[in-house]
């Protein structure tokens, strides 16, 4: 543990180590209480079921609807997970102790981001098999592509979601504030992800997805960096 209060003296390696420590702490806390994870998993499963019953099978085939259903489910479940994760932390006042320590806020953000990615990633990992099951999707060769696009898109909206949930938790109507703020930001990654997913499931060539993948990558770079730099404006007085 660094004893000096100089937060600029961190090497790159210790920066990432610090982020991992923070992430691990959050993940352990969540594994103990499991509130965020459980609510998000149940929610995701229910959403999938509702979508299945909410369509007319003669009018719309499962394959046409599938990518949209998957991504709407991911988006909603991510919001549930993000909300609960910060709520639990607020209740434990764990953040206050962390903020007193001379930890660079960028590392704090990265740690929170990694922990949130772990939560949302877990929900997505469980949702995909359910999705394949309910919608009779033939994954085949599309699985690695699907995992990649899921990772790319999730990184984008969880980054923005992490900073917004840190803010929302400090406001009244926190559960309403997060979706209101976050949904516009989820749309570009969502559009791109649905486009790529539907092409993947149809086994289209990579050239057709390239533009969307580049958009996702650019979105990730811009927003992860910006949210990291701006995080201290949210948590520091």
Partner 1 sequence: MIASSAETQALRVARRGIWISAVAFLGLAAVVVLALAFTPVEARQGLAQKIFYLHVPAAWAALLAFSLVGITSALYLWLKDPRLDRFAAASAEVGVVFSAVMLTTGPIWAKPIWGTWWTWDARLTLTLFVFFLFIGYLALRAAVHDTAERARFSAVVGILGMLLVPFVHLSVYLFRTLHPQPIVLKPSAPSLPAEMLTTLLVSTLVFTVLYVGLVTARYGLALADEAREEARDAA
* Binding footprint of partner 1 on the chain (CB under 8 A): 160, 163, 167, 170-173, 177, 180-181, 183-185, 187-188, 191-192, 195, 208, 211-212, 215, 218-219, 222-223, 226-227, 230, 233-234, 237
- In the complex, least distance from residue 224 CB atom to partner 1, rounded to whole angstroms: 12
Overall size of the chain counted in residues: 237
- In the complex, least distance from residue 210 CB atom to partner 1, rounded to whole angstroms: 10
Which residue number, 129 or 211, has a Cβ lying nearer to partner 1?
Answer: 211
- In the complex, least distance from residue 131 CB atom to partner 1, rounded to whole angstroms: 24
Which residue number, 54 or 233, has a Cβ lying nearer to partner 1?
Answer: 233
Which residue number, 80 or 168, has a Cβ lying nearer to partner 1?
Answer: 168
Q: Using CA atoms, how far apart are residues 147 and 154, in angstroms rounded to an integer? A: 10
Q: Using CA atoms, how far apart are residues 125 and 205, in angstroms rounded to an integer? A: 25
| DSSP letter (8 states) at residue 56 | -
Residue 103 phi, psi (nearest 5) = -95, 130
Which residue number, 123 or 188, has a Cβ lying nearer to partner 1?
Answer: 188
Q: Using CA atoms, how far apart are residues 89 and 99, in angstroms rounded to an integer? A: 13
Which residue number, 16 or 185, has a Cβ lying nearer to partner 1?
Answer: 185
Nearby residues of 15 by Cβ (< 8 Å), 6 or more positions away:
104, 106, 107, 110
Tokens of 120: 């949302």
Q: Using CA atoms, how far apart are residues 116 and 64, in angstroms rounded to an integer? A: 30
Pick from 73, 159, 145, 69: which is nearest to 110 by CA? 159
Which residue number, 43 or 219, has a Cβ lying nearer to partner 1?
Answer: 219
- In the complex, least distance from residue 24 CB atom to partner 1, rounded to whole angstroms: 27
- In the complex, least distance from residue 133 CB atom to partner 1, rounded to whole angstroms: 30
Q: Using CA atoms, how far apart are residues 119 and 109, in angstroms rounded to an integer? A: 15
| DSSP letter (8 states) at residue 91 | H
- In the complex, least distance from residue 105 CB atom to partner 1, rounded to whole angstroms: 13
- In the complex, least distance from residue 15 CB atom to partner 1, rounded to whole angstroms: 22
Which residue number, 104 or 179, has a Cβ lying nearer to partner 1?
Answer: 179
Cα 217 to Cα 76, 141, 164, distances in angstroms? 22, 22, 21
């Amino acid at each position: 543990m660094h004893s000096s209060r100089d937060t600029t003296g961190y090497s790159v390696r210790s920066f990432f180590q610090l982020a991992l420590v923070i992430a691990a702490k959050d993940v352990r806390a969540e594994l103990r209480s499991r509130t965020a994870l459980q609510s998000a998993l149940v929610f995701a499963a229910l959403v999938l079921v509702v979508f299945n019953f909410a369509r007319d099978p003669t009018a719309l085939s499962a394959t046409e609807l599938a990518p949209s259903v998957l991504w709407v489910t991911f988006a909603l479940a991510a919001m549930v997970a993000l909300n609960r994760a910060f709520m639990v932390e607020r209740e434990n006042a764990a953040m206050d102790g962390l903020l007193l320590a001379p930890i660079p806020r960028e590392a704090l953000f990265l740690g929170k981001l990694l922990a949130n990615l772990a939560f949302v990633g877990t929900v997505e990992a469980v949702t995909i098999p359910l999705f394949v099951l309910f919608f009779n999707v033939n994954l085949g060769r599309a699985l690695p592509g699907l995992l990649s696009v899921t990772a790319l898109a999730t990184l984008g909206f969880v980054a923005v979601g992490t900073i917004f949930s840190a803010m929302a938790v400090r406001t009244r109507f926190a559960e309403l504030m997060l979706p209101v703020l976050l949904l516009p930001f989820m749309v570009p990654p969502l559009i791109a992800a649905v486009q790529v997913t539907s092409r993947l499931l149809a086994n289209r060539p990579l050239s057709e997805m390239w533009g969307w993948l580049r958009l996702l990558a650019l979105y990730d770079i811009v927003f992860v960096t910006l949210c990291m730099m701006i995080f201290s404006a949210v948590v520091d007085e």
